[in-house]
Amino acid sequence: MILLPRPKEMRTTDASFRITPETRLVLTPDARQETLCAQQLKDDLARFAGISPTVLCGIPREGDIVLAANPGSGEEYSLTITDCSVQIKAPSGTPGLFYGVQTLRQIIRQSGAVLPGLCITDEPVFTHRGFYHDATRGRTPSLAWLRHLADEACFYKLNQLQLYVEHTYLFRDLTELWGAGEPLTAEEIMELDDYCAQRHIELVPSLSSFGHLFELLNTKSWCHLCELPQAGAMDSTMPYRMAHHTLNISDPAALPLVEGMLREFMPLFRCRRFNICADETFDLGRGRGKQAMEAVGEGAYYIGFVEKLCRIISDSGRQPMFWGDIAVMHPEALERLPKGSVCLNWGYSPEVTEDASRSLAAAGATQYVCPGVSGWNRIMNRIPDSYRNISRMAAYGRKYGAIGLLNTDWGDYGHINDPRFSLPGMIMGAHCSWSGEELPLDVICEDISRIAYLDRSRRTVGLLAQLQGKDVCSWWHLVQYREHVLGRADEGHGDVLAGLDLSTVEDANRQVSLIAASLTDSVQHMDSSSAGILHCWLNACEGIMVWNLVGAAVQSKRKDAALAQRLERWLWQYEQQWMQVSKPSELWRIREMVRWYAALLRTF
């Protein structure tokens, strides 16, 4: 039996339970509140077993599926399948019953109406198990997609969801930002907050409040608060927006501006935590605040402002959270922060070391470990790299007493990556944050294929993993080359396409073509409800191949009108897929890139 996350203990027996039209889903009176998961279970029984049992509250009989509460605390549950009944038990008032139902749903998806005898006892390794979704750097997600994301998260026993927001919330008085990224509204966030709460998920507010404020600090009204004097006249390019965005905290008007944003955003969420972000303050003290920072030193200057932000959060009765990339370099200063402030210790390399986790633990910091799904700046996620990163960070978290794991999915440079492609990475993070069992890559890919995509051949995710490294001309290369040609290159990036070899491109594309054919073959083994993702996968394969060819043609300055047409056809399909999960938001940036390269291919 394949289950993700893996249960703490599972024992098989010779019994089997047959679901019949007489079977009832019975909530005992002390489990009466778990009507949502009972409905989830009923829906899956109708879909995979062909039987839609009535939901009751009362005393169960032989032949029923029973959800019952018992004394205790925590998130543990037990699931027992015998010849006579299915019973899920968990402490009253906890999410345990809900999580037990998610396990039973996975069993039903594989076994239909005849369930194998099992005895499961289960509980998580990490108390806090989250997923972080970028809602700023190109794509503003639709509310329908965010509901779907919450459904996926709860199915794999995640209990926190965060949306990364810079300018993509409709702040009441910051009207200059309203057109920058098609913002989320208060109504949408509150509706999502309710939806998540019903699924035992905390929707944790996350708002940039120090670095990553390019669009705000590039407005006419607020450019005087940017570290860079040229703010207000800078092009809103993908690289500039990622690199030049730091608040000049030496200006007395900086804190009131941010505090107003924080206080407007907070009430939308019932969660008693708040992520102020405060990461990647690249320009700190290198412009208008130079003299102020030199007077106290970089560490004290940075932590001083983070302390003020955290006090705003803690004084409101919430737990502050912040990204730890700067703080980890000054761990001694963390004791200035309010007690219980959470340092979000991120590291995204597949070879990430334990140094930061160890340093924060030694400083007595409360930390989450934060790996990533490795989808940003590319069309398809690097699945092997992401699993290596996630499993390593989870191990460091266990070793150094982290209280949570927050798995991240970013959208750098316009969010070219389709968020649906991050599902395998989300599941890997869910497994590693719930279970202490480390699975080989091929095993977890096979398991995800079976559970997430209902693929009886168990091949699909392994095939997607083979796409890693085939984008020899990645989205990052394409963005940086264009900026170089337009005279806007930053951070020393020049002609990043120099040396791109056509034979390397052709070899990579041959392999991608074979993978695409194998993905098409795998659909015959998938449930029809899951097969719709194939079109997205195939267009991703086409995108990898066509952009590889574009890079080679541009590098050799070869005119190719047919390739320009192929690129435009790819864009048409890509746009349709974008709109399935996202608002139009900044799709225009992707179109702009395609049109620029297509024109170049017709001009050489």
> What DSSP assignment string belongs to 513-558?
HHHHHHHHHHGGGB-TTTTTHHHHHHHHHHHHHHHHHHHHHHHTT-
Q: How many CA atoms lie within 13 A of 543 on its CB side?
A: 25
Does a structural domain hold residue 516?
A: yes
Answer yes or no: are the C-beta atoms of 402 and 396 closer than 8 Å: yes
For residue 73, the tally of other CB atoms under 10 A from its CB is: 10
For residue 539, the tally of other CB atoms under 10 A from its CB is: 20
Q: Are residues 75 and 162 in the same domain?
A: no
Across the range 577-604, mean pLDDT stands at 97
- CA dist 4 and 447 (Å) reads 7
Q: Are residues 194 and 309 in the same domain?
A: yes
* Domain end (from 95, 122, 149): 122
Summarize pLDDT for 374-417 with one digit per residue, the tens.
Answer: 999 999 999 999 999 999 999 999 999 999 999 999 999 999 99
CATH number at residue 59: 3.30.379.10
**Residue 491: what pLDDT?**
67
Q: How many CA atoms lie within 13 A of 459 on its CB side?
A: 14
Tokens in use for 15? 């019994």
Q: Are residues 167 and 53 in the same domain?
A: no
Give the CA diameter of the chain: 78
Summarize pLDDT for 311-362 with one digit per residue, the tens.
Answer: 999 999 999 999 999 999 988 889 999 999 999 999 999 999 999 999 999 9
Tokens in use for 114? 């005849």
- CA dist 362 and 310 (Å) reads 21
Summarize pLDDT for 90-131 with one digit per residue, the tens.
Answer: 999 899 999 999 999 999 999 999 999 999 999 999 999 999
Answer yes or no: are the C-beta atoms of 406 and 344 closer than 8 Å: yes
Does a structural domain hold residue 448?
A: no
* Domain end (from 122, 157, 176): 122
Mean pLDDT, rounded, of the chain: 96
Q: Are residues 479 and 367 in the same domain?
A: no
* Domain end (from 122, 149, 171): 122
Q: Are residues 213 and 160 in the same domain?
A: yes
Domain count, the chain: 3
Does a structural domain hold residue 288?
A: yes
Residue 215 burial (CB < 10 Å; 0-12/13-18/19+)?
buried
Q: Are residues 343 and 327 in the same domain?
A: yes
Q: Are residues 470 and 421 in the same domain?
A: no
Does a structural domain hold residue 456?
A: no
Q: How far is CA 512 from CA 229, 415, 420, 540, in A?
A: 46, 22, 19, 10
Does a structural domain hold residue 454?
A: no
Q: Are residues 396 and 266 in the same domain?
A: yes
- CA dist 100 and 306 (Å) reads 40
What's the DSSP call for residue 184?
B
Nearest to 211, CA basis, from 301, 284, 300: 284
- Our CA angle for 101, 121, 20, nearest 5°, is 45
Does a structural domain hold residue 444?
A: no
Q: How far is CA 201 from CA 156, 406, 410, in A?
A: 11, 13, 20
SS3 state at 220? coil
Does a structural domain hold residue 445?
A: no
Q: How many CA atoms lie within 13 A of 496 on its CB side?
A: 18
pTM of the model: 0.97
Summarize pLDDT for 521-564 with one digit per residue, the tens.
Answer: 999 999 988 999 999 999 999 999 999 999 999 999 999 999 99
Q: Are residues 65 and 151 in the same domain?
A: no
CATH number at residue 232: 3.20.20.80
Q: Are residues 148 and 182 in the same domain?
A: yes
Q: Are residues 169 and 280 in the same domain?
A: yes
Q: Are residues 543 and 433 in the same domain?
A: no
Does a structural domain hold residue 446?
A: no
SS3 state at 181? coil
Domain span at residue 519? Answer: 464-603
